[in-house]
Amino acid sequence: MSHPSPGAVLKAVSKGRGGIHVAHNKITAESETVRMPPPRTVVLPMQQHIGAPCTPTVKKGDHVDVGQVIGDSDKYVSAPIHASVSGTVTAVADVKLANGRMAPAVTIESDGLMTRWEGIAPPKVTDKAELIAAIRASGLVGLGGAGFPSHVKLNTPEDKPIDTLIINAAECEPYITVDYRECLENSWNIMGAVYTLADLLKVPNVVIAVEDNKPEAIRVLQSIADDDNNRGDTVKLMTLKSRYPQGAEKMMVLSATGRRVPAGGLPADVGCIVMNVASAAFVSRYLKTGKPLTSRSVTVSGDCIKNPMNVRVPIGTSVREIIDFCGGFTEEPYKILSGGPMMGQALVSTDVPLLKSNNAVLAFSKRGAGLKANRDCIRCGRCHEACPMGLIPTQIVKYANKRDAEELSKLGVSVCMECGSCAFSCPANEPLVQYMRLAKEIMREAGVK
């Protein structure tokens, strides 16, 4: 990548990258994050991340304080779970999750005091190994929605030198504004994280990426990027054309460095680490205070929510209580999502807990998210044009119907990130993302990569 003079803003190319224009609907952008009072109970599922589930370390009747570990695993790819309120453990049992599946969880009845656990102390971090250990202990997972344990992401192998750290503030999903608010409200934490991570991980370049429809955030982040006097020109701001899914990891890496993450590979394979801006800000706060991940910001929005806003919520709070806090519904909702409209998960009920990786709760009426009847594919090619990964969804559908794992593999199904751009563009309303999942399933069953 070419390095422009200090203070210059990199402009990412977006031509020929697929993607779609989708209405931003960032109605909560100007709403300052409100802290929600402690809920009566929280439900903390033992798996809120990609990787091995945790085992509860508390039992019914135990008293816990905020920040106390209540679940952990001895596996590396996992992240401990901490109590998000102080109070009494009332159950260690299976609960229903957002996707309708049952999973073990710890339920805590809040005493309303939010007493901080006495064991909380800033971690001592002087090198990469200590940083990784500290981040694992913090329970941090990707706050942008993926939920991948952050310490695994940052702990890149020695044989893959990292030269660029990308702080992802693109937030290309419609409606969601938590990262945007993070930029405005916690810019100093972001800056702190940038320097700490760059120093400890020995990364020479940092790129902060933001979509060009967020001028306020650009202004704030620019001042961060400029404030690196005695560091030379290590931190740069990059604006992306607001086009979904510019914020996807592989797209970010391509925009910032011109490199393409190989199929089946990770950004580290091309010398990059991508970190969500809220996750980065959390790292900085955690290193200062030692307070683990027990709360997070969520955007509560959609046309059925009375008072759309950004709320800081203890993890494990039920979606129902969060919506109540925002004034409840204006009308009977048709669909409630955890996450954004493009990649979010439709909830079977509001009686489910908010997880670490959930960045939004959106409630829509039929007008906003009504289903359209699906017709036969007309082979118009719009799905292919929209696919940022250059896949041809219409052909994948064809071979998925034939259950032809070999052809599916040749078509590159595995690089599909389920961003939904194809299905968004499809005039026939083919459920393309479902087909992508089916195709992956067929390949998994057949054992082909």
Please state the closest distance from residue 335 (CB atom) to another protein, in A: 5
Residue ranges binding ligand SF4 (CB under 6 A): 377-383, 386-389, 391, 393-394, 416-422, 425-428, 430, 432-433, 436
Measured from the CB of residue 205, what is the shortest distance to another protein in angstroms?
11
Nearer of residues 111 and 269 to another protein, judged by Cβ: 269
Q: Rounded to the nearest whole angstrom, what is the least distance from the CB of residue 145 to ligand SF4 in the complex?
A: 14
Among another protein, ligand SF4, none, what does residue 258 contact (CB within 5–8 Å per kind)? another protein
Between 47 and 257, CB nearer to another protein: 257
Query: For ligand SF4, which is the closer residue by CB, 102 or 380?
Result: 380
Question: Based on CB atoms, which residue is closest to ligand SF4, 220 or 423?
Answer: 423
- 355 Cβ contact partners less than 8 Å away, ≥ 6 residues apart: 45, 48, 98, 147, 315, 338
Q: Which does 40 bind (CB under 5 to 8 A by kind): ligand SF4, another protein, none?
A: none
Q: Which does 345 bind (CB under 5 to 8 A by kind): ligand SF4, another protein, none?
A: another protein
**Shortest approach of another protein to residue 2 CB, angstroms?**
9
| Pairing of β 81-82 and β 69-72 | antiparallel
**Binding partner of residue 430 among ligand SF4, another protein, none, CB cut-off 5 to 8 Å per kind:** ligand SF4
CB under 5 to 8 A by kind: which of another protein, ligand SF4, none does 392 bind?
another protein
Nearest distance from residue 22's CB to ligand SF4, in Å?
12
In the complex, the smallest distance separating the C-beta of residue 211 from another protein, rounded to whole angstroms, is 18
Q: Which is nearer to another protein, 189 or 338 (CB)?
A: 338
d(CA 118, CA 431): 50
